[in-house]
């Protein structure tokens, strides 16, 4: 395991970690933006060279000065791979991370060995627009309620009953800087719409979704897979955070797919 820091031109510093051996895999998390989201998945794939990182302004990474949109977050992700001398890799993204991975492949198609796109979309629909308008209102009213409601939306009820700590209100108030980072990240994900460009993504892609996802409905993964020229679609369950709820199934799907698409 190697922890490293990536310094970006605008002053942001990204905290990152590399583990394992084999073909390189970059895993990009969603709205929360933390590398820690992938901990159980990485542990289940010891034969892969996995790279994860905290996105700018999140957890151990600093914000920097650059405006935040999906294109900038994709450039940040490439910088993480550049720091490790990785030219070509499998790109795995969940939720907002799936948008970032699509953008990475559009920016540098020759570097994307393949894409794994989980719980994500090529462009938002009216459902997502309304849902995130509600979540922004909650964030402004009470960050604690925003966080607690996010858990109820992201995990299925049986999992939450066994992991009650996930639905407890967080202790203490959020600092204003954290609220600002979440607001700009929500604006970035809602502004992302690459549906017209998806047919240009020639890399093989595995699109994963949960039929019980209340944040990004499975219909958006179906539309994404239909738009990509070399995509396979696989349905799981476990709510929006199915990589955590169904880690063994998720890691097995990734491992099987990587085995069919080596670098």
Fold of 2-123+193-260: Rossmann fold (3.40.50)
Mean of per-residue pLDDT scores for the chain: 96
The yes-or-no verdict on residue 173 having pLDDT over 90 is no
What pLDDT, on a 0 to 100 scale, did the predictor assign at position 158?
Answer: 96
Edge-to-edge strand order for the sheet containing 89-94? 2-7, 13-19, 49-53, 24-28, 89-94, 112-118, 205-210, 231-236
The yes-or-no verdict on residue 192 having pLDDT over 90 is yes
What pLDDT, on a 0 to 100 scale, did the predictor assign at position 245?
Answer: 97
Closest C-alpha among 138, 189, 220 to residue 28:
189
pLDDT in tens, 77-103: 999 999 999 999 999 999 999 999 999
The yes-or-no verdict on residue 262 having pLDDT over 90 is no
The yes-or-no verdict on residue 169 having pLDDT over 90 is no
Neighbours of 214 (CB within 10 A): 15
Under the banding of pLDDT at 50, 70 and 90, the label for residue 67 is very high
Tokens of 224: 């994404």
What pLDDT, on a 0 to 100 scale, did the predictor assign at position 28?
Answer: 99
Domain chopping of the chain, boundaries = 2-123+193-260
What pLDDT, on a 0 to 100 scale, did the predictor assign at position 123?
Answer: 97
Q: How far is CA 231 from the centre of its chain?
A: 18
pLDDT in tens, 17-49: 999 999 999 999 999 999 999 999 999 999 999
pLDDT in tens, 226-246: 999 999 999 999 999 999 999
Contact (Cβ atoms closer than 8 angstroms) between residue 88 and residue 80:
no
What is the average per-residue pLDDT within 242-251?
Answer: 97
What pLDDT, on a 0 to 100 scale, did the predictor assign at position 8?
Answer: 98
């Amino acid at each position: 395991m190697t922890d490293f820091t990536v310094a970006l031109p605008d002053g942001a510093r990204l905290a990152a970690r590399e583990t394992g051996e084999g073909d390189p895999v970059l895993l990009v998390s969603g709205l929360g933006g933390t590398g820690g989201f992938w901990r159980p998945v990485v542990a289940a794939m010891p034969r892969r060279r996995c790279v994860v990182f905290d996105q700018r302004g999140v957890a151990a990474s600093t914000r920097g000065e650059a405006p935040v949109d999906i294109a900038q977050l994709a450039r940040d992700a490439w910088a993480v791979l550049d720091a490790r001398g990785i030219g070509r890799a499998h790109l795995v993204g969940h939720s907002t991370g799936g948008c970032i991975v699509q953008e990475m492949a559009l920016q540098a198609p020759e570097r994307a060995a393949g894409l794994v796109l989980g719980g994500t979309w090529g462009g938002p629909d009216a459902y997502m627009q309304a849902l995130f308008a509600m979540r922004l209102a909650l964030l402004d009213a009470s960050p604690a309620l925003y966080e607690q409601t996010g858990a109820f939306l992201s995990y299925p009820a049986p999992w939450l009953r066994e992991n009650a700590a996930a639905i407890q209100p967080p202790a203490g108030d959020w600092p204003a800087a954290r609220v600002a980072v979440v607001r700009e990240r929500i604006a970035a994900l809602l502004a992302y719409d690459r549906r017209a460009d998806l047919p240009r993504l020639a890399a093989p892609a595995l699109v994963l979704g949960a039929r019980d996802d209340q944040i990004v409905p499975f219909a958006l993964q179906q539309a994404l897979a239909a738009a990509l020229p070399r995509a396979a679609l696989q349905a799981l369950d476990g709510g929006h955070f199915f990589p955590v709820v169904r880690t063994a199934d998720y890691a097995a799907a990734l491992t099987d797919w990587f085995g069919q698409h080596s670098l």
